[in-house]
Structure 1
Amino acid sequence: MNFNTFAVSACAVTLSLTTASVALAQAAAPARPAAAPAAAPAVTHGPALANVCVVSIEAAIGGSTVGKYVDTRMQQIVAQVNAELGAEKTTIDNEAKTLDGQRTTLDQSALEKRASDLQVRANALQRKAQQRDREVSATEQKAIARVGQELEPLIRQIYQQRQCSLLLQRSAVVIANPAMDVTPQVVAALNAKITQFAFDRERLDQAQPAAGAR
């Protein structure tokens, strides 16, 4: 058995940003001009419909200062988690290499015992990585929910200011006259209300009841 191989394969621990965070980053990034000749032809819009408004929640969050802050903070949290898991993985990998080099000098029982112990640690690290992944996802969901709470009354306010009778989500609309889009006003209102808030990684292990607790 190659102990280095089993340890490495058991410890795929690197986390990445979840889908929502990637979507935020994409929404916040400036639009890239389409390469010719794939550019869509210009559209001539009819008159804006009175009292019909359009908004993009994703673009409002992603384009806001607080949305960009959440995305940056999530990247920091993911980097911290990867550093934690990576350090443990490196230790296990190094011990696996050492053990692999001692196959000819250790007796079989000692070799198997150390290999078994190393496998237990590798499995524990894999479980920790899975938990950290859940924690990162929970952290992001909570942060986005906080932004959503700040955003909801602003959308209602702008709905009334613009005297909208109908508000459509932009993702559900194929094409709409930009004059009906209230997203820029929503972003401006959100920027004026909040730019950042402190949050850290959720700790799911702390949320679990103690063993034997009822």
Structure 2
Amino acid sequence: MTSLLVATCVAAVSLATASAALAQAAPAAAAAPTISYGPAIPGICVLSLEGAVGNSTVGKYVQTRMTQIGTQVQAELTAEQTAINSAAKALDAQKGTLDQGSFDKQAADLQLRANAYQRKAQLRDREMQATQQKALGRVSQELDPVVRAAFQQSKCSLLLQRDALVIANPQMDITGAVVTGLNARITQFAFDREHLDQA
């Protein structure tokens, strides 16, 4: 169950980020028609893991912290890319005044810098993915007992993933209880970017 929760948590943060972007970009949609639900089925419960993580305090914290780390990474890479671009422009401006050997040497050195930059950008991307996976793994560890407690407290016999259903009676949904339980258990924890080059 833990590996499923980690995968679901990763999807939740990605989904929450995409949903926030869509909510800002999309105009207000017309109100959905009212639905009359049949009776809640005793023992069958519904849970949105994505919703539980995305609406929890710790889920929002992880999303905010990932954005902060991403901004730091982007600033680092942008500064390096700007320096390489400036060096390329300077070298291009000197093309007419340098002998061919000097120009070729500087061009080769610049290409080495550009290649190193590409490798660093790819490494930072993998580090961001590893950071997100580790952070959400921690959330998943905290979430697992909360889901089990909500399952037992609601006297569930069967727990269905809400996001796999088209429509379900909201009285069967234990997502709110899981969010409340997760908020009581953890709100934030310290984490920084994983450094795979030191592994």
| CA 19–88 in structure 1, closer or farther in 2 if over 3 Å, else same | farther
TM-score of the pair, normalised by structure 2: 0.88
The answer to whether structure 1 residue 49 and structure 2 residue 34 are counterparts is no
CA distance in 1, matches of 2:11, 2:146: 25
State the one-letter code of the partner of 1:192: A
Partner of 2:61: 69
CA drift at 1:22: 2.9
State the one-letter code of the partner of 2:14: V
Partner of 1:105: 97
State the one-letter code of the partner of 2:150: I
Deviation track 1:108-154 (CA, whole Å, cap 9, x = no partner) reads 11111100100010000000000000000000011111101100001
CA distance in 2, matches of 1:60, 1:27: 15
* Count of residue pairs brought into register by the alignment: 188
Deviation track 1:137-185 (CA, whole Å, cap 9, x = no partner) reads 0000111111011000011001111100110000111110000000000
* Contact 1:28 1:59 survives alignment (8 Å): no
Moved over 4 A (4+): 26-29, 31-34
Partner of 2:3: none
The answer to whether structure 1 residue 196 and structure 2 residue 169 are counterparts is no
CA distance in 2, matches of 1:141, 1:53: 28
The answer to whether structure 1 residue 136 and structure 2 residue 128 are counterparts is yes
Partner of 1:148: 140
Percent identity over the alignment is 62
Task: Describe the SS at the equivalent of 1:71.
Answer: helix
| CA 158–19 in structure 1, closer or farther in 2 if over 3 Å, else same | closer
State the one-letter code of the partner of 2:74: N
* Contact 2:11 2:50 survives alignment (8 Å): no
| More helix, by proportion | 2
Task: Describe the SS at the equivalent of 1:167.
Answer: strand
Determine which of 78, 85, 88 is the counterpart of 2:77.
85
The answer to whether structure 1 residue 35 and structure 2 residue 29 are counterparts is yes
Please give the residue correspondences for 1:174-213 in structure 2 after superposition, counting only pairs within 5 Å: 174-207=166-199
CA distance in 2, matches of 1:192, 1:28: 25
CA distance in 2, matches of 1:117, 1:131: 21
CA distance in 2, matches of 1:27, 1:98: 43
Deviation track 1:56-96 (CA, whole Å, cap 9, x = no partner) reads 00000000000000000000100111111111111111111
| CA 190–33 in structure 1, closer or farther in 2 if over 3 Å, else same | farther
The answer to whether structure 1 residue 168 and structure 2 residue 160 are counterparts is yes
RMSD of aligned Cα (Å) = 2.1
Q: Structure 2: which 5+ residue stretches go unaligned?
A: 1-9
| CA 161–21 in structure 1, closer or farther in 2 if over 3 Å, else same | closer
CA distance in 2, matches of 1:33, 1:87: 36
Q: Structure 1: which 5+ residue stretches go unaligned?
A: 1-17, 208-214
Task: Describe the SS at the equivalent of 2:37.
Answer: coil
